[in-house]
Structure 1
Amino acid sequence: MSATSSMPKRPSDPLDLVDVDSLLTDEEKAIRAATRQVCADVVDPHVMQWYEEGDLPARELAREFGRVGLLGMHLHGYGCAGMSAVDYGLACLELEASDSGIRSLVSVQGSLAMFAIWRFGTEEHKQQWLPRMATGEAIGCFGLTEPDHGSDPGSMRTRARKDGDDWVLNGSKMWITNGSIADVAVVWANAGEENGGIRGFVVPTDTPGFAAHKLTHKMSLRASVTSELTFEGLRLPADAVLPDVTGLKGPLACLSEARYGIVWGSLGAARSSLEAARRYSMERIQFGRPIAGFQLTQAKLASMATELQLGQLLALHLGRRKDTVGLRPEQVSVGKYNNITKALEICRTARTILGANGVSGEYPVMRHANNLESVLTYEGTVEMHTLVIGQALTGESAFR
């Protein structure tokens, strides 16, 4: 038998050059296909309009996503699907291939608000909120970032003080996804050293003293609801506090969950942009031939495809470890640092292949590139993840 006749067949997906799909189980592929289908049905036909309008029918989408088990899908019990980290990652990739704002809706709901309640809340918190959040009946948000304190949450100005058996919150939060449509907010506040320092609170958004204002004039993540939260004399009962965590380890644990989703999700934006550029290059005729036949174009496509596959292998490796032994913070940082920077580079390079058409809303590339500028920053800037990795390498903290 000749060497050529024994070669394996080429993958059905031309972007899967190293057969990453062969590492997935049939169940994982089915979850990916189901997520891709719901996006094709309820997101893709409308997402460019939502982006242009700077709005999102988030409640309607949440119910659709809840119907197929995407909300809190990696959590167990309380109506959640109980799927694996790899399952969740694959879903994030497909959601962000439609739009980063769509993945953010699911990520904030499941990996921030629901995870905080699931991991640190009382049984009453869990019973009250998680089943309704899993179906999309109730929407959650996560209040950590403040107008003047993003990368340094330990310096937050939102305060919680004891007043008898109650807690009283005053302060504000900024850049909060789902904030103005949320039914419940997980809010982090400084309660003073005598009360454990940073504490988390489960806050129904109809509580007097709570207000949310939708942010406008965004040039990125436009198909997403982003808000400022304010608390003025917001009075909560004693049992509103998350009892099982004090200090920054609570919000940082939640952020690690959400950052893991970004490791996968950013690749969805990259894949969508690469595929748009690949198809365009085969259809666009210049100098009497498709531009796909020119060496410079092929060099761009080869580089983008290679980085995409390497990012997928990294995401899958981290997902398998998360499902078995768990992830250390620096491992999540490596994933976000690499995949978001490479995804943004892929989108920018894809735009050059499309030329002037790359800025047109008829193609997804510029929308993805604009969105990834936000993803690059939120849930840990590139600089902060760089320092996490640097500390793991040297044992020296360079944060201060």
Structure 2
Amino acid sequence: MKRVVITGAGTINALAHDVPGTLEAMREGRCGIGELELRDVERLGIRIGGQVKDFEPEEMFNRQQMALFDRFTQFTLVAAREAIAQSGLTFDGELATRSGVVLGNSGGGMTTLDENYRSVYEEGKNRIHPFVVPKLMNNAAASHVAMQYNLMGPSFTVSTACSSSNHAMAQAFQMVHGGACPVMVTGGSESILCFGGVKAWEGLRVMSRDACRPFSANRNGMVQGEGAGIFVFEEYEHARARGAEILAEVIGYAMTSDASDIVMPSKQGAARAISGAMRDAKVNAEEVGYINAHGTGTAANDKTECAAVADVFGHHADNLLMSSTKSMHGHVIGGTGAIELLACIMALRDGIVAPTIGYQEPDPECALDVVPNEAREAKIDVALSNAFAFGGLNAVLALRRVA
């Protein structure tokens, strides 16, 4: 089996429009959550989110592209450009035919859907743009990345709600690990901060009106975000032969299904995913130094996740660092695992663990070290990234520091 390393990373999210800016914001514990700026926001009960501000797509894409690119596709292409540029790869010949794209996404072109529902139902129009379907389909971003960078190998989109990105990256890892592909572009994106997207989530009654405070006793719900995180996964010897910079090594993963409830998480399902990722990575509990938590800021998730970690790690749980960066950039749903992978890379490469900001009161049911409010320096050799989705679909990735 092949070793798999990350040679490129790109992002755009509520904290910054690139990786350096995002990591700086995470180190500083900066909050990207604020008042939403969107049509009919006054009709919403929830008016905050991790919205990408100062984004001018008209300056990046021409008019023909704008007719085809929903906001989630725009985010993906911005992040992919940064990741592939950092990797230094050009896809042609056999490399192009064997390399592909696997991305995670949950809502697809929600902005396009929202706008066209308005056009038909509110404004009474009987005709819509002929590109609405190719613009809103969930695989649009993956297809456009493949077309733009000449990636002709396995390419598809994974949609598993909040664990979409982790499932996608696990699939990309397996393709490189098993030798089917030398390089895979992977990650995820989401843009559901439109009127209909927020209104739908309001109905779940799990949203906070003021802040995302994971693991804090006074937390009162999650906060939506938007953005993308894209990575280049590459076979280790292929990367080393061309002298590529290696950000981290992906060493394993696990996927589980709770098979119990459509919205309530299961401690057992989460624990099996965490322990399964360590088993696949061939690491023991004492080697893991950091977990990027799913950490949504809801009582159901936070208590279940902490209980699962405590069960898996036993006494070593007291020595673990675990934080939720959703407190800073919001819950990016299908793209969230990809953005959060950046915090794992920062911990492994730079020895800086991103904090859980907004933490105010200890919760006895979340009695782990959640790195409250301030980043912390620590030597981390192995990190895990958790994602637990509605529908009980779990995916955990394991990464190792590359000396």
TM-score (norm 1): 0.25
Higher strand share: 2
Pick the structure with greater CA Rg: 1
Higher helix share: 1
